[in-house]
Amino acid sequence: MEYEGKNPGNVEGGLKAAAHNPNVSAEKQQESLEKASQIHEERTGKNPGNVEGGLKAAAHNPNVSAEKQQESLEKASQIHEERTGEPLKDQTIQKESKDSK
């Protein structure tokens, strides 16, 4: 990265400012916006494996409604398939949820 050693938040802010500055050419505005977006993604991107794990945990948490457990399991399965190219195996909701008692 060409901004190494600098605060990424400040770099992102400067690029956004340049992207909205009327004294900057349209080409450079677009370039600045794309770089700012890239920096933002690098700073805030979530780890898909961790997201998948959190959704699996919610799917098996008895304090979560049956409807939300099913939604969580479906989302976890989708993320798993996007990450690995394979479907999620043997993932069913086994415990009774709080709402189904």
Going residue by residue through the chain, which has 101 residues, state the pLDDT in tens, using 9 for 90 and above: 567 788 888 999 999 999 999 999 999 999 999 999 888 887 777 788 888 999 999 999 999 999 999 999 999 999 899 888 988 887 766 655 455 54
**Which tokens hold the place of 62?**
């008895």
Q: Where are the domains of the chain?
A: 8-44, 48-100
**Which residues have C-beta within 8 Å of that of residue 84, sequence separation ≥ 6?**
none
**Which tokens hold the place of 68?**
């939300």
Nearest C-alpha neighbor of 12 from the set 47, 45, 48, 36: 36
Q: Is 45 helix (H, G, I), strand (E, B) or coil?
A: coil
pLDDT of residue 1: 53
- Find the largest Cα–Cα distance for the chain: 65
pLDDT of residue 60: 93
